Amino acid sequence: MILGAAQLNAKGKRQKPKKLALEDKAKTLQEEKKKCVECPEMVPIPGTNFAMAKYTVTFQDWDACVVDGGCNGYRPSDKEWGRDTRPVINVSWNDAQAYIQWLSNKTGKPYRLPTEQEWEIAARAGTTTEYYWGIFPFGDSASSANANCNACGSKWDNRTTAPVGSFKPNGFGLYDMSGNVWQWTDSCWEGDCKKRVLRGGSWNDTTSNIRIATRFKDDITERYHISGFRLAMTLKK
């Protein structure tokens, strides 16, 4: 190999450096977002063929689905904490599928839930520590809150959900990958597809439950005030 020479693929065509290819994907997704009001902001995950939503689905997103005749007309309770940019809660795995079907039909884009493996890759953002911000649940000091959980140090701890994006994002630019709400994935629990895996922990979970490696399961029909979801999408090559 000659240093500095252009790299060619199997068909003899010039290949773009990985960084530039990722920037192109991000630019394409940003341009699509500008043209589509309902489309969530998607972030391409480095070294993979998928993108993850920058935020979990909010009540504002969900209510738009209901108003448009989708989501089976189901309007989940917000427990009087407020709707708007708070993450939607009290939604089952089946409910998430109804939202995805509505949004995909509305936009023509193949949205889906992430697999458990995809969720962890996106959440870690290249880190190997228990939390994507470091080894301690509260960050570098007891006054630096990085998530909403039971004893994370935020004003919402063990009380309510927080509006999405209230804390610093991880290294890939994704918000609230730990805490706030458990996130449904598309993965079956130990081969039982009547139960699905949730990841991330919630506003009333202890710090051990918001570790990236922590797993939880629930029936696909169950609705709880600690569970929500985030969208994913397979990217075109």
Task: Identify whether 1 is part of a domain.
Answer: no
CB 196 within 8 A of CB 93: yes
Q: Domain tally for the chain? A: 1
Please give the residue range of the domain that contains residue 186: 18-234
Q: Residue 7 domain-assigned?
A: no
The dihedral formed by the CA atoms of 146, 231, 65 and 168, expressed in degrees to the nearest 10: 20
Q: What is the DSSP string of 183-200?
A: EEEEEEETTEEEEEEEES
Coil/strand/helix, residue 120: helix
Range with the poorest average pLDDT among 17-31, 77-91, 151-165, 176-190: 17-31
Q: Is residue 163 part of a domain?
A: yes
Q: 87 lies in a domain?
A: yes
CATH assignment of the domain containing 27? 3.90.1580.10
**Inside any domain, residue 200:** yes
Would you say residue 136 lies in a domain?
A: yes
Asked whether residue 9 is domain-assigned, the answer is no
Contact 133, 99 (CB under 8 A): no
Share of the chain above pLDDT 70, in %: 83
Residue 21 has pLDDT above 80, yes or no: no
Q: How far apart are CA 172 and CA 47, in angstroms?
A: 12
pLDDT at 218 over 50: yes
Residue 8 counted as domain residue = no
> CA distances (Å), 225 to each of 85, 169, 186, in order?
16, 23, 19
pLDDT digits (tens, 9 = 90+) for 133-192: 988 876 655 557 899 999 998 999 999 999 999 999 999 999 999 999 999 999 999 999
